[in-house]
Amino acid sequence: MKINIKKKIVGLFIIISIGISASFQSDFFEVAKQIDIYTTLFKELNMYYVDEINPGKVSSKAINHMLRNLDPYTQFYDEQGVEQARISSTGEYGGIGTLTRFKNKTLTIREVLKNSAAEVAGLKPGDKILKIDDILVKDYEDSGVSALLNGLPQTKVNLIIERQNNELDIVVTRKKVDVNSVPYYTMLDEEVGYISFTRFNEKAGSEVKKAILALKEDGMKKVIIDVRSNPGGLLIEAVKISNYFLPKNKVIVTTKAKIKKWSDTYKTTQTPLDLEIPIAILINNRSASASEILAGSLQDYDRGVIIGERSFGKGLVQRYRPLSYGTQMKLTISKYYTPSGRCIQELDYTNRDDKGNIPKFSDAGREKYTTEKGRVVFGSGGIQPDVDIEKPETTKTTETLFTSDAFFNFATQYFYANETIADPDKFKLGSSDFNDFITFVSNNHPDFETKTEAYFKDALKNAKTENLDGKLTKNYENLLNDIQEEKINELRKNKEEILQKITSEIVKRYYYSEGVYKQKAAFDTTILKAQEVLNNSAEYAKILEL
């Protein structure tokens, strides 16, 4: 009897082993088969296609198209892209210290960093770079041209720029650029400190620690940490910062991957800075990844109050993998889970419908979890704040406006029309400024075009090619005017949100990013609400049910 049972068990194991082996062999064969098909196709294309092709460009397009069907975080980097990824993670590089945008074969300076080589040389946001040394920007076909601005400290780069329709020759001596993850911190009153925190690079933990210790010397007894619009970065830095407020050996985040060795549990390992200080974490719908790990861990341990809007909902972890010839890939390897066990991933990239639409996990309902003290929190769909800051729903038209160049171009016009403005903590725009902006976008259609307007333009173009325009042209102009009027009405519904964006763009021109946060510290409603909550110990305790 026992022998028969053993035989059955052994037989079962053999069957399972054969099945697994067959599965692995099948997967390997399928991968090898597809690689061979691609290789032979690529060779035939390169050898016999009637015109010359660029092998690198064709291959990059094929790779990027393949990855686009997975998730937006799985990306391929060529040699140049590898360097950009390194800069993003370290926050350090040699260059002129500008943020640029390449669009329509034009390289425009969007921001000049404080104390940078660009600032010393007199470069301004809005300047269009026409030539970099002997390279004409218009001859480039992609944004890689901006990499020509980088280089070893103390080397020179010769630029020809266009500013307000005038061409200027400017020589810039490159220097080391440090991208500070904490652009601003201050005391809001005698007890409440405020720290703005923009990214989780390799210096994030040390910069946040430096800010905390400096504010403590100034008398800080309560702290606001602002990670609104912070897209995240290095997971380990989120663990370090959580550790400043939590004791040793606390689970901060758990990752679960297909490959067992990439599944891990990250715990606090250091002595905390402060286990008692009241904390408010500010989040919005663009707080993602490591920002959500920080907010989620402090929320799960009832260690701080989360204030603002529901966060983005990125519960995926990426890792860089080296490829051949100096290239690399960043790929999603795991999902992460907060201490209470929740995964806050919102978009279900695996189950797109036939039209490519991506469903949301939260559409099926948000699962309930509990914090250490028993408060209810929710999985999927990001981090739900403990204190919601209500604001009018952002209209589709306003969302389109936010992705346009309208704010940037308006700020450029404003900058050259106004030599100075008030200090950031005293600068505030009003209704007349909003109306000026509305007039600006009304007169500058290319800066801000909705899908509806684009469709109407395409329809008229098609009608002309088919000789069907006849009486359409006049009606078309009337329809466009009606659309323009409705578009402006939609913008007015988000007046305050738009004014905040205009204010930030303008203040940045005069006082850099530091000034933007100084202005927010004085007027931002979410910061003021956090300050109010922290200064009301009864309300703070009630939220956390302490």
Given this model, what pLDDT does residue 468 score?
65
Given this model, what pLDDT does residue 471 score?
67
Chain segment 203-252, per-residue pLDDT in tens = 999 999 999 999 999 999 999 999 999 999 999 999 999 999 999 999 99
Chain segment 389-444, per-residue pLDDT in tens = 988 899 989 998 998 999 999 999 999 999 999 999 999 999 999 999 999 988 87
- Split at pLDDT 50, 70, 90, the class of 5 is low
Q: Which amino acid is at 162?
A: E
Question: Which of 224, 124, 116, 125 has its CA nearest to residue 180?
Answer: 116
**pLDDT at 24 exceeding the cut of 50:** no
The secondary element (H helix, E strand) that includes residue 19 is helix 2-48
**pLDDT at 7 exceeding the cut of 70:** no
Q: What is the mean pLDDT of the chain?
A: 89
Q: In what order do the strands lie in the sheet with 184-187?
A: 184-187, 192-196, 222-226, 279-283, 305-308, 387-388
d(CA 414, CA 101): 20
Question: Which of 337, 335, 347 has its CA nearest to residue 381?
Answer: 347
d(CA 244, CA 181): 17
466 three-class SS: coil
- Split at pLDDT 50, 70, 90, the class of 455 is confident
Q: Does the CA dihedral 448-231-116-175 come out positive or negative?
A: negative
What are the DSSP calls for 45-105, one per residue?
Answer: HHHH-SS---HHHHHHHHHHHHHHTT-TT-EEE-HHHHHHHHHHHH-EEEE--EEEEEETT
Give the residue, 497 or 32, on which the prediction is more confident.
Answer: 497
Range from 80-89, 199-208, 334-343, 512-521 carrying the lowest mean pLDDT? 80-89
Given this model, what pLDDT does residue 167 score?
95
d(CA 103, CA 55): 24
Range from 138-147, 149-158, 257-266, 492-501 carrying the lowest mean pLDDT? 138-147
343 three-class SS: coil
**pLDDT at 58 exceeding the cut of 50:** yes
Question: Which of 313, 185, 291 has its CA nearest to residue 230?
Answer: 291
**pLDDT at 178 exceeding the cut of 90:** no
d(CA 15, CA 20): 9
d(CA 299, CA 507): 33
Q: Which amino acid is at 381?
A: G
**pLDDT over 70 for what percent of the chain?**
92
- Split at pLDDT 50, 70, 90, the class of 73 is very high
The answer to whether the CB of 123 falls within 8 A of the CB of 112 is yes
Query: What mean pLDDT do residues 506-525 have?
Result: 95
**pLDDT at 381 exceeding the cut of 60:** yes
Give the residue, 445 or 150, on which the prediction is more confident.
Answer: 150
Answer left, alpha or beta for residue 344, where phi above 0 means left and psi between -120 and 50 means alpha.
alpha
Given this model, what pLDDT does residue 2 score?
46
**pLDDT at 46 exceeding the cut of 70:** yes
Chain segment 321-344, per-residue pLDDT in tens = 998 888 898 999 999 999 999 999
Q: Which amino acid is at 146?
A: S
Query: What mean pLDDT do residues 22-35 have?
Result: 70
CA distances from 314 to 8, 210, 283, 347, 435 (A): 46, 28, 13, 8, 37
Question: Which of 270, 288, 294 has its CA nearest to residue 195?
Answer: 294
Answer left, alpha or beta for residue 323, where phi above 0 means left and psi between -120 and 50 means alpha.
beta
d(CA 116, CA 135): 23
